[in-house]
Structure 1
Amino acid sequence: MGRLSACTPAPPILALLLALSLAEILGVAAQGSWELLLENAGIASMHTALTHYGNVVLLDRTDIGPSQINLTGGVCRDDPNDLTLKVDCTAHSVVFDPADNSVRTLFIQTDTWCSSGQFMADGTLVQTGGDFDGLSKVRTFSPCSSSGSCDWVESTSETLQDGRWYASNQLLPDGTQIVVGGRGVATYEFIPANGAAKVYLPFLSATNDAQTDNLYPFVHLLPDGNLYIFANRDSIVLNYKSNTVVKTFPTIPGEPRNYPSAGSSVMLPLTASDGYSKVEVLVCGGAQYGCFLNSSTFPTASETCGRIAVTDENPSWDMQTMPSPRAMGDMLLLPTGHVLIINGAENGCQGWNNQKNANLKPVIYSPAAATFATQSATTIARVYHSTAILLPDGRVLVAGSNPHQFYELTGEFPTELRIEAFSPDYLNTANDGVRPMIVDAPGEVGYNQSFTVTIAVTNKPSGEVMLAMLSSPFTTHSFSQGLRLVNVEVGMPTDAGNGEYTIVARSPPSSTLAPPSYYMLFAVNEGISGPAVWMKISY
């Protein structure tokens, strides 16, 4: 949030108060609200991703029998190796438009069950691995407007060097992706490979056990260009260029955190105010050790969050207790810098029918105050194979949930075809007077570049207006792959007349802070966010 011009530092207590919202200072628990967007999307979204056109790709597996929506134009998937339906005329992927809550079917050929993905620098969604005939596949989706006809393309020239089921992807500073791990796979590789061979990572073997609690490892790109990788209960910093572990961390107390134990993780916002020098990772939830092998007992899920300053010389885990136990929760960064923890169950772990007592109440964690605020409950259980993503208007889209091998539309946890949205309290109309609306911003910027943003706001800003760059991740199995928030350097708003104000900002200084891609640019005034505009950062 730092300023371009010099200013007199505020006294420490005043600086703290200025950094906190009124709700944080008073301990007020904002509630948020829910709305049903679509009664039947046709599929249960196991994987969800927001494109820079503002529409949302929903993706399920293929070897599951018929979905609840037909492919159009008489198209069918002819697959003699399909486990259930050799000729399938139903869709297993759709694109959802939040503008009118409509869906358009997409065609996916090979099985994307428990696969991984990430957006490339040009906004193309790359999707890797899966199961059965999809194990080594590389697929791409080049997004278009909702009136377009863009669709999935399965590569005929590139395949994964190792078949990857339950892997994690991360966009790198050079615009390539790293694909880490998978069931029975202790390697990483790159997309596109450009001649680079896969690399063995002993850490993935060391964190493996009878339950394989190191699947879907939490992977975060650090500002120094290295990777923070968390698996099971342990974590390292990896220099992937030299395959060197440059730092190891204490074991997190408590339960296993990765699949099938299903905790979640985010890297907390990176801020210009400290020169992007402090990096903290938050890991929340999980399941009792042994749950996957003894699932019929439905043990109580983890109640703890661990927070660690990765950049400290001698880091240690700061443990906190959540308001309720949670496994299979999704963690998202909100434009305000808070962390939303949503979805999941209070008992059990990942796997078919391995959960009880859906956790219907999201919580919002404030990194500044280190407090949790319980939110309004949904009426829809979102357990195994559920997803959540942030939309440009500030709402959180929630989709999926299917703890069954096939589609089962009745019972305690039916295959969930409904799409809903959670609106954090910053969207309350009572905040409209201070809500900043971006009326002008560049569509593309380079690194370490000065740029100007114009906002419209009813009440004159009383201080800095934060500009937050939020990536668009690939969300699956309780982890948003590639998620990051960068609060860029800003100057004080300048009155431009007619209720508009200009803000001179500076883009991130390097691609290790913000890999080249499309980002949602949010303006946040007095803790209240306005809707985002898309901004591409590139070399």
Structure 2
Amino acid sequence: MGHSRVTVVLWMSRFLSFFFLIPLASAVTHEIPAQWTLVQNGTTGVAAMQLSVVSPTLAIIFDKVEHNPLQIGNHSAWAALYNLETNVVTPLNLTSNSFCAGGTFLSNGTLLNVGGNGVVSPEDEDQNGFQGLRIFEPCTDPAGAGCTVFDDPITVRLVKPRWYPSAIRIWDGSAMVIGGTAAGGFLNTAGSNEPSYEFFPPKNNSIPIVSPFLQDTLGANLFPLTFALPDGTVFIAANNQSMIYNIANNTETRFPPFPNNVRVTYPMTGTGVLLPLTPPNYTPEILICGGSNASDQVLPSTLSSQTPASSQCVRMVLDEAGIAGGWIVEQLPVPRIMPDSIILPTGQIMFVNGGATGVAGYGNVPDQIGQSNADNPVFTPVIYDPSAPAGSRFNSTGLPASTIARLYHSTASFTPMGNVMISGSNPNLDVQTRKYATEYRVEWFNPPFFDLIRPNLSGLPKNILFGQNVNVTVSIPAGLDLSTLQVALMDLGFATHATHSTSRLVYLSTVLSGNTLQITGPPNAGIYPPGPGYIYLVVGGVWGAGTQIIVGTGGAPPVSS
């Protein structure tokens, strides 16, 4: 990657050990530099409101209908494929408006993009997207040739209109679509709230299931933070509340409110992550950071772009003892509204993007910056180590700082290459060049060892079944501590509005014998819902490139009679 390179010293204890890398065909040694790098390279052509990696070489981007520079047919595109290797952008033709849609993968690797907004620009030929159900099937061409999105809201659509919904893949490989609104676009109201769940393929005779929790969490309950749990239940957070939903029994088990009345979903947007699931018990633990304790029961005219965001993080182990102990509070080094949380193969979490003041959205508060409801962009990432002692888990010393504001409608994703892609920011009704402008530039955070020879595995099959043992060949640079070897199975997720609900890291059981590594698939579909993922070999805190895999048979999810 090419244009500008910022090199700084990165504090990170697991990378500061003195390693030597010995290429297989050479006796030359390479010391791992103690630094991350930040590179700006590439532009997206459409504003990157929604971002998801769909193959080893491609990411898909969805935007709203607006006057993007990338064209398709006789109008501006609002979706595109981004080539992770060449930075080439290919427009995709959509029919409906994908403004503030959600997304998730199915068990067969198909990506769903769900919900959206109404007709905005008849000259762009968009259709009503409130019930949008856009389908992107697995794309095998590395450059995306021939890859398309099926988008026909007349024949295939959601049951309910949903703007700002969340979506996850559950234990049977189907999609669960959660919440949203039928109107509005800022604080949700009882008149427009869609407090229900529905599934695709449909369940329950296509009748949405009403959620009292989503009724009770008005008005900041859009884009709920949602995670599928190992026992088949679903964790959901909205506003300053959270609960576990049992799909089989249709019951909601609520937890105490978040401390200090911090709200964590749109427009008081924080971010959440399911911390890595580790054998033998795979006990789930939730971390939620950022947001705001501004009131959601007031008129937008009483809010401000200068209201401090929250620095609060809350963490809970979802077992009997952890739930009894309640939410444990930690503090980000800098308050953040709209941060993105990226799981790294080491189990650490990188927080990027967002602002230090204001709330999400645009055009609502009286002291907008341009049209932005937020101000004071946070330019420096911070890394959280969940295994470090309390009080010393956050650190951003030496991490490179960006100069690009990433506020509302920013996105980020881990990639198969093993780095972090940063894109988007568009707190505007349409494309703008004023502060804060519509942002098309792409940035890449590369780990210290990115350009060196890294741990590698080969011979992985296209599918791995639950509990299946497979043997692969590994190449591990000399000097790395083999006792630290881990295999990380990662769902890279679907990112929008600081939600990464489908992102997931499961450590797989392994046995190393020489250069042969036996890997055991996840025990069941609760630990890792069947579907696509990437496997990374991690040794001594150094990870290689990811290898694409389907967990399970790769079949489509069940269809109800």
How would you bin the TM-score normalised by the shorter chain? 0.7 to 0.9
- Matches of 1:42 and 1:52 in 2, distance apart? 19
In the TM superposition, residue 364 of structure 1 has moved relative to its aligned partner by 0.6
In the TM superposition, residue 425 of structure 1 has moved relative to its aligned partner by 3.6
Query: CA 1:42–1:295 in structure 2 vs 1: closer, same or farther (change >3 Å)?
Result: farther
Conserved in 2, the CA contact under 8 Å of 1:288 and 1:299? no
Conserved in 2, the CA contact under 8 Å of 1:454 and 1:503? yes
In the TM superposition, residue 251 of structure 1 has moved relative to its aligned partner by 1.2
One-letter amino acid of the counterpart of residue 138, structure 1: L
Partner of 2:52: 49
Of 423, 435, 447, which aligns to 2:466? Answer: 447
One-letter amino acid of the counterpart of residue 419, structure 1: V
Percent identity reads: 30
Of 108, 125, 139, which aligns to 2:134? Answer: 139
Say which SS state the counterpart of residue 463 (structure 1) adopts. Answer: helix
Question: Does residue 261 of structure 1 match 2:268?
Answer: yes
Q: Between Structure 1 and Structure 2, how many residues are aligned?
A: 481
In the TM superposition, residue 502 of structure 1 has moved relative to its aligned partner by 1.5
Question: Does residue 341 of structure 1 match 2:364?
Answer: no
In the alignment, structure 2 segments of 5+ residues that lack a partner are 1-12, 18-32, 119-127, 182-192, 363-371, 554-561
One-letter amino acid of the counterpart of residue 160, structure 1: L
- After TM superposition, the structure 1 = structure 2 runs for residues 150-229 of structure 1, keeping only pairs within 5 Å, are 150-155=147-152, 156-183=154-181, 184-194=193-203, 195-208=205-218, 212-229=219-236
- Matches of 1:348 and 1:518 in 2, distance apart? 36
Q: 1:230-249: per-residue Cα shift (whole Å, max 9, x none)?
A: 1111111110122112x322
Q: Which moved more, 1:250-259 or 1:455-464?
A: 455-464
Conserved in 2, the CA contact under 8 Å of 1:52 and 1:518? no
Query: CA 1:309–1:357 in structure 2 vs 1: closer, same or farther (change >3 Å)?
Result: same
Of 141, 149, 154, which aligns to 2:146? Answer: 149
One-letter amino acid of the counterpart of residue 263, structure 1: G
- After TM superposition, the structure 1 = structure 2 runs for residues 82-481 of structure 1, keeping only pairs within 5 Å, are 89-132=75-118, 133-144=128-139, 145=141, 146-155=143-152, 156-183=154-181, 184-194=193-203, 195-208=205-218, 212-245=219-252, 247-254=253-260, 255-272=262-279, 274-276=280-282, 278-290=283-295, 292-313=300-321, 314-352=324-362, 353-369=372-388, 370=390, 371-374=393-396, 375-409=399-433, 411-425=434-448, 427=450, 429=452, 432=453, 435-459=454-478, 461-481=481-501
Conserved in 2, the CA contact under 8 Å of 1:226 and 1:237? yes
Conserved in 2, the CA contact under 8 Å of 1:49 and 1:58? yes
Q: TM-score, normalised by structure 1?
A: 0.86
Partner of 2:39: 35
Of 460, 482, 487, which aligns to 2:502? Answer: 482
Question: Does residue 525 of structure 1 match 2:534?
Answer: no
Q: 1:254-290: per-residue Cα shift (whole Å, max 9, x none)?
A: 3211100110000000011x421x2110000002313
One-letter amino acid of the counterpart of residue 111, structure 1: N
Query: CA 1:187–1:224 in structure 2 vs 1: closer, same or farther (change >3 Å)?
Result: same
Say which SS state the counterpart of residue 131 (structure 1) adopts. Answer: coil
Question: Does residue 69 of structure 1 match 2:70?
Answer: yes
Q: 1:293-344: per-residue Cα shift (whole Å, max 9, x none)?
A: 5343521111111111112331411111111111110011111110111000
In the alignment, structure 1 segments of 5+ residues that lack a partner are 1-19, 77-88, 496-500
Report the RMSD for the aligned CA atoms in angstroms.
1.8
Say which SS state the counterpart of residue 453 (structure 1) adopts. Answer: strand
In the TM superposition, residue 346 of structure 1 has moved relative to its aligned partner by 0.6
Conserved in 2, the CA contact under 8 Å of 1:467 and 1:487? yes
Structure 1 runs of 4+ with >4 Å offset = none
Q: TM-score, normalised by structure 2?
A: 0.83
